[in-house]
């Protein structure tokens, strides 16, 4: 069974930085594409970005609201996904979920989420 466990959330001031981690188990991590999805309080789901496997070039892609501020990376030796968030804004306040891509391009495994609050 795939397990994804996020960590690193917390309270940060506008303009600050935070790095989230996602530890994966039960999957051959190096072979899978991964992404981050967020959900602002009381709102719907928003795809943040994704990283391909190393075999597929480890290419990243980001949603427009975070492009240039957020960076997704991975350490396959540690089975861990990262989300570096810089220049944080109040509108980045959300639960951040780590997700795994299936072979059919759906998001078939989700972590429990980590809360990020951006407030002065």
- List of residues contacting another protein (CB under 8 A): 35, 37, 44-47, 50, 61, 63-64, 97, 102, 104-108, 110-113
Residue 95 CB, shortest distance to another protein, in Å, is 9
Residue 77 CB, shortest distance to another protein, in Å, is 26
Residue 39 CB, shortest distance to another protein, in Å, is 9
- In the complex with another protein, the residue whose CB is nearer, 35 or 80, is 35
Please, which residues have CB within 8 angstroms of residue 52's CB and are 6 or more apart in sequence? 33, 58, 59, 60
Which pair of structure tokens corresponds to residue 112?
């429990």
Radius of gyration of the chain (CA): 14
- In the complex with another protein, the residue whose CB is nearer, 66 or 85, is 66
């Amino acid at each position: 069974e795939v397990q994804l466990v996020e960590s690193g959330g917390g309270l940060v001031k506008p303009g600050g930085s935070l790095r989230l981690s996602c530890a994966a188990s039960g999957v051959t991590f190096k072979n899978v594409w991964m992404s981050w999805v967020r959900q602002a309080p009381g709102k719907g789901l928003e795809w943040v970005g994704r990283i391909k496997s190393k075999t597929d070039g480890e290419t990243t892609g980001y949603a427009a609201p975070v492009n240039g501020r957020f960076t997704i990376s991975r350490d396959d030796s540690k089975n861990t996904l990262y989300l570096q968030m810089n220049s944080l804004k109040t509108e980045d306040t959300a639960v951040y979920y780590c997700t795994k891509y299936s072979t059919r391009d759906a998001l078939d495994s989700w972590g429990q989420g980590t809360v990020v609050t951006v407030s002065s």
